Amino acid sequence: MKWVWSAIALLLGRGRRAPARVDRQRLIVEQPPSRRGENVVLVLLGLATLSFAAFVAVYALDRLPAQTQLFGITLGLGFAFAAAACIVTSRLLVPVEEISDPYANEPHEEAVAEIEQLVEESGSRLTRKRLLTVAALGTGGAMGAALLAPVASLGPVVGPDALRRDGWRRGMLLVDSEGRPLSADGVEPGTFYTAFPAGASHDELWAPLVVVRVTDTLELPEGRDPQRWAPEGIVAYSKICTHAGCAIALYRSPLNEETSMKPALVCPCHYSTFDPARGAKVLFGPAGRPLPQLPLQIDDRRRLRAGGHFSGNVGPSWSGVRRGRA
Amino acid sequence: MVRVALVVVAALTLAAGASAANGRDLYFANCVWCHGDRLQGVPASGPSLQGAGALAADFYLRTGYMPLRSPRQKPTRRPPHFTEPELRALISFVAAHGGPPVPRVHPERGNLAAGLELFTEHCAGCHQMAGAGGIVTGTSVPSLRSATATQVAQAVRIGPYLMPRFGEQAITPRQLDSLVRYVLYTDHPRNRGGWAIGDLGPFPEGIVAWLVAGIALLALARVIGEGLER
């Protein structure tokens, strides 16, 4: 912000430069300054700036009805006004003439000077150059702000610490999205459940789980005791894909496995496919490592509870994952 | 008068008997190869239909998913293979071997916004937000455009082919009403932006923007430039 102000101050405070080469004969026929044209351009630039500012305002408010349409209208009007200002400038204020010359190999002192003079004289109809420059810069700034504002929608900045965090503790209750505890008897085969830690934020990367009951033979990786990691065949994995961090929202669940395919957890973004019976081993797709698994316990009221920490880092893979435990 | 009534009752009884027999005949003519002579299923061909009930029979036969030509063929939506009386006979034959009835849904009692949220959580990963269908590793996912309210409810409870099934604990009957209401809404969604371009999302919209609007803008720039030269 302070840069914008200093730029404006610099432009407005700059002294008038003495016109150079006044003695020279004009190359372009002198035309009277067009006060009207300048006013039109100023108004158009102002409208463009307002439209871009309105886009940023709609984005920041984020609660208006028909928001998408307002985005389109404000951005579209902004560009239309800016374009109209350019058109009016070129038609009313700057003389346009096409001159063609054979291309000279050597840089020609005289020709260079002539072009400089041409450029200078073509702006001679403008009486309020600085005001116009400030208006154009304002429009450019507002346009830039409108184009950059949606970057905020890319989400929070996720540092490596968020990827290493694991809030699950032994004995933590598993609940569904509405806070109801997940019962071991309620976990039916052929379907999948999304679970969260009771009493903790659902928005943390480590929080969401996908829970399924495996009916096939379990083949968990070595060192994972089925009693501790898959009590009664119920397994829980992180719902965040290890490839790009999307939610594992698909469960391929064959009605008749003999004639179709094995059950699998699938990420809808790039179709990484994981085998729930074998510790979420990658069957297909770009994911480079299995989903981290969470050990489970069933308490005396048959509710599911966490049995400890994840088997590895949650979330998308990054270079540090290979070096650390994963 | 009494005689007429007797004749009508007799005819109705006969018709009912004929329908059951008809269902059995149809089953043996079309289904027995994969599902077995006692509906017990045939290894490596078809699953057991004992306990499938009218819920599954009605769904598979009315969507044309069954009968399949070969057990490894992927079921695709087709017009029903049987006529309406044949369908009814076959469904009651399968239903007689036990199982849940056809679910009753009341989409008019559901809440559209709640349905949208349920659909996002459970269905949109495969069927896409507008129910237009998509792909999952190993198969394509059908569009929900031609599905009736009952068929959507049946699919949720059965989990046909590679779809997971959702019991009443995962999706309560009340929630199912909302979900079905949303699916029906996607047949004629209110597109405030105008042209929906097949409801396929931002990718085709981007292509249209670049190809149509981009070329139009180029032409406009040319017109403005030529206007200046004159």
> CB distance B193–A285 less than 8 Å?
no
> CB distance B162–A260 less than 8 Å?
yes
Q: Are A236 and A195 in contact (CB under 8 A)?
A: yes
What three-state secondary structure class fits A264?
Answer: strand
> How many Å apart are CA A288 and CA A104, to the nearest integer?
59
Same domain, B184 and B115: yes
Would you state the pLDDT for residue B119? 93
> CB distance A250–B136 less than 8 Å?
yes
Residue B203 lies in a domain: no
Closest Cα in chain B, distance from residue A5 (Å):
34
- Tell me where in chain A the CATH 2.102.10.10 domain(s) lie: 161-323
Closest Cα in chain B, distance from residue A190 (Å):
6
> How many Å apart are CA A294 and CA A315, to the nearest integer?
14
Per-residue pLDDT of chain A (326 residues; tens, 9 = 90+): 666 677 666 666 655 454 555 556 777 777 777 788 889 999 999 999 999 999 999 999 888 888 888 999 999 999 999 999 998 888 777 776 666 777 767 777 777 888 888 888 777 777 788 888 999 999 999 999 999 998 888 876 766 677 778 889 999 999 988 888 999 998 988 889 999 999 888 888 899 999 999 988 889 999 999 999 999 999 999 999 999 888 998 888 888 777 778 899 999 888 899 999 999 999 999 998 999 999 999 999 999 999 999 998 888 887 655 554 44
Would you state the pLDDT for residue B20? 54
Would you state the pLDDT for residue B199? 75
Does residue A189 sit at the B interface (CB-CB below 8 Å)? no
Does residue A252 sit at the B interface (CB-CB below 8 Å)? yes
Closest Cα in chain A, distance from residue B26 (Å):
23
Interface test with A, best of B161, B205, B226, B230 (most A CBs within 10 A): B161
Q: Identify each DSSP E strand in A123-220 by its residue range.
A: 174-175, 192-197, 209-213
Q: Are A298 and A305 in contact (CB under 8 A)?
A: yes
Q: Are A280 and A220 in contact (CB under 8 A)?
A: no
Q: Which domain holds residue B77?
A: 1-102
Closest Cα in chain A, distance from residue B17 (Å):
33
In this structure, the number of other CB atoms found within 10 A of the CB of residue A97 comes to 10
> Which residue stretches of A89-159 are H helix?
109-122, 129-148
Tell me what the mean pLDDT of segment B23-47 comes to: 90
Q: Are A72 and B192 in contact (CB under 8 A)?
A: no
Same domain, B22 and B79: yes
Same domain, B98 and B3: yes
Q: Identify each DSSP E strand in A176-258 by its residue range.
A: 192-197, 209-213, 234-238, 250-252
Would you state the pLDDT for residue A8? 67
Q: Which residue of A has its CA nearest to B49?
A: A256
Same domain, B3 and B50: yes
Closest Cα in chain A, distance from residue B58 (Å):
16
Nearest to B137 among A186, A252, A258 (CB): A252
**Triad B198, B204, B207: Cα angle to 5°:** 140
- How confident is residue B72, by pLDDT bands cut at 50, 70 and 90? confident
Domain count, chain B: 2
Same domain, B125 and B175: yes
> CB distance B72–A191 less than 8 Å?
no
Sign of the dihedral defined by the CA atoms of residues A121, A125, A127, A132, in that order: negative
**Triad A105, A107, A112: Cα angle to 5°:** 130
In this structure, CATH architecture of domain A161-323: 3-layer Sandwich (2.102)
Same domain, B92 and B129: no
Same domain, B7 and B86: yes
Whether the pLDDT of residue B225 is over 80: the answer is no
Whether the pLDDT of residue B87 is over 60: the answer is yes
Would you state the pLDDT for residue A9? 65
- How confident is residue B43, by pLDDT bands cut at 50, 70 and 90? confident
Same domain, B63 and B149: no
Binding-face residues of B in 33-92 toward A, CB within 8 A:
43-47, 71-72
Residue B224 lies in a domain: no
Of B102, B121, B147, the residue at which a domain comes to its end is B102
Closest CA to A284 of A295, A275, A296, A292: A275
Closest Cα in chain B, distance from residue A320 (Å):
29
> CB distance A255–B158 less than 8 Å?
yes
Would you state the pLDDT for residue B227? 72
Nearest to A266 among B44, B71, B137 (CB): B137
Residues, chain A: 326
Same domain, B46 and B4: yes
> How many Å apart are CA A78 and CA A305, to the nearest integer?
55
Does residue B190 sit at the A interface (CB-CB below 8 Å)? no
Closest Cα in chain A, distance from residue B39 (Å):
15
Sheet holding A234-238, edge to edge: A174-175, A192-197, A209-213, A234-238, A293-294
pLDDT tens across B163-175, in order? 988 988 788 999 9
Chain mean pLDDT for chain B: 85
DSSP B171: S
Same domain, B130 and B179: yes
Would you state the pLDDT for residue B21? 58
> How many Å apart are CA A307 and CA A295, to the nearest integer?
5
Of B156, B171, B190, the residue at which a domain comes to its end is B190
Would you state the pLDDT for residue A14? 58
Q: Which residue of B has its CA nearest to A274?
A: B137
- How confident is residue B187, by pLDDT bands cut at 50, 70 and 90? confident
Would you state the pLDDT for residue A265? 93
Q: What is the model's pTM?
A: 0.69
Looking at residue B185, which CATH number applies to its domain? Answer: 1.10.760.10
On chain A, the residues whose CB falls within 8 A of the CB of B138 are: 252, 260-261
Distances (CA, A) of A188 to A303, B125, B230: 14, 21, 77
Tell me what the mean pLDDT of segment B84-92 comes to: 92
Residue B230 lies in a domain: no
Nearest to B162 among A188, A261, A283 (CB): A261
Closest Cα in chain B, distance from residue A251 (Å):
6
Residue B158 lies in a domain: yes
Task: Extract long-range pairs of A155-164: CB within 8 Å, 24+ residues apart.
Answer: A158/A205, A158/A315, A160/A318, A160/A320, A162/A204, A162/A205, A162/A315, A163/A205, A163/A313, A163/A314, A163/A315, A163/A316, A163/A318, A163/A320, A163/A321, A164/A313, A164/A324
Closest CA to A195 of A294, A281, A316: A294
> How many Å apart are CA A250 and CA B142, to the nearest integer?
15
Would you state the pLDDT for residue A13? 60
Same domain, B7 and B72: yes
DSSP A184: G
Would you state the pLDDT for residue B188? 85
Closest Cα in chain B, distance from residue A80 (Å):
11
Binding-face residues of B in 133-162 toward A, CB within 8 A:
135-139, 158-162
Would you state the pLDDT for residue B209? 85
Q: Are A122 and A89 in contact (CB under 8 A)?
A: no
On chain B, the residues whose CB falls within 8 A of the CB of A285 are: 137
What b-and-e string marks burial along A259-293, b requiring 16 or more CB atoms within 10 Å of the CB? bbbbbbbbbbbebbbbbbbbbbbbbebebebbbbb
> CB distance A258–B192 less than 8 Å?
no
> Which residue stretches of chain B are H helix?
2-30, 32-35, 53-62, 84-95, 112-122, 124-127, 149-158, 173-185, 202-208, 214-229
Ranked by mean pLDDT, which of B7-11, B90-94, B219-223 comes out on top?
A: B90-94
Does residue B15 sit at the A interface (CB-CB below 8 Å)? no
Does residue B228 sit at the A interface (CB-CB below 8 Å)? yes
Q: What are the residues whose beta carbons fall under 8 Å from the beta carbon of A29, sequence distance 6 or more? A: A95
Does residue A68 sit at the B interface (CB-CB below 8 Å)? yes
Would you state the pLDDT for residue A63? 85
Nearest to B192 among A66, A91, A250 (CB): A66
Does residue B121 sit at the A interface (CB-CB below 8 Å)? yes
Nearest to B125 among A69, A191, A250 (CB): A250
Same domain, B59 and B150: no
What three-state secondary structure class fits B139?
Answer: strand
Backbone angles phi, psi at A273, to 5 degrees: -125, 130
